[in-house]
Structure 1
Amino acid sequence: MVDCKVASTPAVPGQKLEKSGETHKTDEDVPYQNLIGSLMYLAVCRRPDIAHTVTHLSQFNTCYTDEHCISAKRVLRYLKGTKSQGLKYKKTDKMKGLVGYADASHATSYDRKSFTGLVFLWKGGAVCWESKKQKTISLSTAEAEYVAISEAAREAIFLKRFVAEITGEREKQLTIFSDSQSAVAIAQNPVHHQRTKHIDVRHHYVREAVENGHIRLVYLETERMVALVADVLTKALLKGKFVLCARGMGMKSLEV
């Protein structure tokens, strides 16, 4: 892949990858599992822009085909063109506090499960991010977004305590933005009504976090650039929106 052609994004928007039903089925000599493992290390440590793509491809570690190998190679082609990219932080009072973003893509996996995407920014860059498939099937977009907010709430409590330990400053509330008005309304409503009685009890942790004042949920329109930060962690995007999301997470050129 040293002389490969550069790709503008790590994944093709709208591409549907399926399980082959066999242990593996490929004519290419590609160490698929080793490659995914190496990419996962990179996605966890310093490249949130490839986190969703790598998580998605990791579902096919035992049933990959030529199509999956080509998709994995595309991530390498993208990385070749963005080798100088990394997370950049700034020392400024305007970016002093922690802020989180939670998003979800409903039923986009081959097994109809949704993807959760969350990211927390501090000093202008991402300090915590996650892209993973939800364990249960959500019956609506609002439910998928609610599950994502619940995951973000648990991470927010940990980050608040961690930041307090290293700075000595305690934040009264940590703001989490979501582009789902329905999910925010469900989280802020303690009434166990018809729309939520089937949701796993553990996801209702977010309501307790809101009631205790640990977090503050704020609705933010999807069209706004800042609200798109977590969008890149839930689905493959076109180049324009992908670049906006990456910049929103603090991804910038580190070349002097």
Structure 2
Amino acid sequence: MYLSVCTRPDISYALSQLSQFNTAFTKDHWLAAKRILRYLSGTTDYGLVYVKTVYSDNQSALRLLEVKEYCHRKTKHIDIRYHFVKDLIKNNNVITEYMSTEHMIADVLTKPLSRIKHLSFVKELCLQKLGL
């Protein structure tokens, strides 16, 4: 579990499914666990590399971040913490971009995916060979 939480998010979904059978595992579960270990052994030189771009599928939220005024009649209810994010964007500490829902890489953490889509999202998660 440590690997999926701290260093290897690409195995999160597989581990969450497998962990449901910790107390009553079968041969199939053992084979699935071995497959995860084989995947990890084949990608030992992968690690997280962080980027500053934040993607959203909510165009309205992105539009609010672009507005120069902090106070607006329709946005008075927004928490002060929102303004911190807006300052990060203003100072170029974070970049925001629109991305459609079907291209959201967070799916690799929550949904079963085809092998091709999984490998594509692993690249987009910034898991890269570290050259160890």
Question: The TM-score by the shorter chain falls in which range?
Answer: 0.5 to 0.7
Aligned to 2:44: 83
Deviations 1:78-128 (A, max 9, x none): 0011000111135xxxx3x5x2569xxxxxxxxxxxxxxxxxxxxxxxxxx
**1:69 correspondence with 2:30:** yes
Residues 236, 221 of structure 1: alpha-carbon distance in 2 compared, 3 angstrom cutoff:
closer
State the aligned residue count. 102
Segments ≥4 residues shifted beyond 6 Å: none
Within the candidate set 15, 26, 40, 1:54 is matched to 15
Q: How does 1:19-168 map to 2 (within 5 A)?
A: 40-89=1-50, 95=52, 99=54
Within the candidate set 78, 103, 125, 1:249 is matched to 125
Tell which has more relative contact order, 1 or 2 (C-alpha 8 A, sep 6+).
2
Shift of 1:242: 0.9
Shift of 1:172: 2.7
**In structure 1, C-alpha distance between the alignment counterparts of 2:119 and 2:11, rounded to whole Å:** 12
Aligned to 2:100: 220
Identity %: 41
Aligned to 2:106: 230
On the 8 A contact 1:47/1:86 being kept in 2, the answer is yes
The alignment's TM-score, normalised by the length of structure 2, stands at 0.64
On the 8 A contact 2:4/2:15 being kept in 1, the answer is yes
Deviations 1:145-166 (A, max 9, x none): xxxxxxxxxxxx9xx79xxxxx
The amino acid across from 2:43 in the alignment is: T
**In structure 1, C-alpha distance between the alignment counterparts of 2:125 and 2:109, rounded to whole Å:** 11
SS of the counterpart of 1:170? helix
**In structure 2, C-alpha distance between the alignment counterparts of 1:236 and 1:49, rounded to whole Å:** 11
**In structure 2, C-alpha distance between the alignment counterparts of 1:228 and 1:219, rounded to whole Å:** 7
Within the candidate set 80, 83, 86, 1:172 is matched to 86
More strand by share: 1
Residues 253, 101 of structure 1: alpha-carbon distance in 2 compared, 3 angstrom cutoff:
farther
The amino acid across from 2:86 in the alignment is: K
**In structure 2, C-alpha distance between the alignment counterparts of 1:57 and 1:101, rounded to whole Å:** 30
**In structure 2, C-alpha distance between the alignment counterparts of 1:52 and 1:101, rounded to whole Å:** 21
**In structure 2, C-alpha distance between the alignment counterparts of 1:234 and 1:48, rounded to whole Å:** 10
More helix by share: 2
SS of the counterpart of 1:236? coil
The alignment's TM-score, normalised by the length of structure 1, stands at 0.35
